[in-house]
Chain A
């Protein structure tokens, strides 16, 4: 039992590395927030653009969405961070992580929002159009509010899954939680900092999961 505590919860290491883990927490929160906001907005925008049914534009969207859903985010992070400088484009590691995760989240969110838009019955469009709403008005006032409600559960799951990938920042030197924890672990030769990192992730993401559940009930309306 003592050996276990010594390995995973050593008090003096906790005290020593708490500040750097907390710094990592701040960085993780910053990137996660930026990714969630930008990724969801971009995904919604793409789904709206797709609903205009312009063939060449939709083809581009589908190619983008399928690529970013198929590729492991780590591969994209490495290509952008280590590949692009060779063609003269050098992006700071923080921005690379933000950009890649935003695009990945946007790709998944687009698919989910698009499925939501398609699942709104045709009669809703017809009723709105018959009262004088144009295409965008119908989309904005009648279809999207229903589509977004339907998509809260899958969107929350996907958002949590992708923001957890901020841990990938560790391979390109973004000083987020996991990065701080692994370097502390190699300095100290003890797993305590890793456990601290794990606990930090739990403290960060359990509220997000709970918020998702709350939104699910809050936005659910009794369907006829």
Chain B
């Protein structure tokens, strides 16, 4: 062991991690890199040990003696304002933030609804578990006063500012490089304490420093997701048209309020879905508990929002004696109503659904899953003791949010093209897709295009890869910059060749006049004339949201004894907008859907009353494997988004969003002979067993 430090011995970095308060009046509260006096959740770091290798470091960590005086633990998100202890000194309660999204008359409209259905719905807490845990390596060049950090992050620019702020170094003396990342799913959006500690200790001890989280740390320290509790009322007219949707919900933020508000706001906006809703009220309290902080995880609130809307439609259909698909049909926004202003405001901007054909997408799902023929099959199979169920659910995938992103496209005299962005990839295949965009707009051979992402040294402005925004924001920026480069190239070439721009073509190392192979000019010469060493352009893509339809249809068989779920058929129809690379797009959709399957049927971060996490290994936290993955049948619509020039739609999260309600609906349908109502996710065999026990206690059929 080389060194060990407690919080007291690192006063220079003992300040809250940076971030931005969401709104005036909200309590943004971030942890310090090490807990100084109070430890607020299991996993919060209290000391740092430096050693030559991980074995010695763990020996050192084991030798750390901590004297804990136990404080009462708060784990429930529903809290008595009088008796619940506060987690942060000086607070009146553990409510860190409150916001309301309203359309029309909000909750007041319920008074006019002849049918009102009320329900409490919950989405349990999850852990993302990317294959590679978080990791950082820092090198400080004392002579130059320069810090270089290699970091697994989704936001190179935020990390760049974070290091600068926490370490007191000017931005130009910090470089953050993002190498290939082994998965992220949202949890690497945040700036974490270990990252600051590694960089600080590299400077302080004068040697390179590395920290690689292990699986247990990934379970206890890294952000978790979901964890929402919704009290919902839906009002309808006698024909099943939605009049009002009112949801007062609680977001469990964990022990700090760092990144929980984003998913909560996404849930509030996404609940609306592709339906006509004249009056809506989504009110949220962000509540602290003594658990690991929560933040974005694939879908980041969108699956939760879709879950509450779709499950309320199921309940309303049941209450009115209407078919679940029919109720949805009556409320889907028609193509001629688009663009559709929801009346909602997101960060002071109107939420407007841009383009699509939602009824056509939904009918595709209903037809493909054989919704009409299913009931006959279901009855026949039940005779044989097989419990089949069906679910259909929709959403609009909000993508491309956040401020803009820039891109720099450079054409060198050699004919090589370099594309630089501030987004970063963790397996999506950005370098392929972005090279395609640039090559197409430039008319260049794709093998000449190189993509550089996630390096603060490029100086490209942007905010990073999350919220299904990269291709919408950076992709548009690349297309625009590449077009400008091409324009300058062609202007110069047209002049030299005395030909029209429209007749010019990039062939190998030359620009040629189409149909006149003798009339050509070396690229090198054109570039030299147009820009010297290279032609370079920087452009920005906006952060205007797009809303793409996605519908899921699923049939399952539930083992009535073991309560395991087998997916029999799974149909997805989604509006992919303008697609850059069909294979990558399909991969995003299927991967997201598999994560939804895990969310519903196998994964759960459960805590006991003392705040101890009950699953901290992959033995007890069950991720779906390739063998558990069903064959997904995909249908695509292609309505270009109207909110960005290229018509791109984000695709990273849509596959997860309606999978939660679709699967829950199907599982509940399969178990309908037992009369059990499944309001809370997940629906693991253990949770289903608990639900059946409760039902039996009520004297139900089971």
- Whether both chains belong to one complex is answered with no
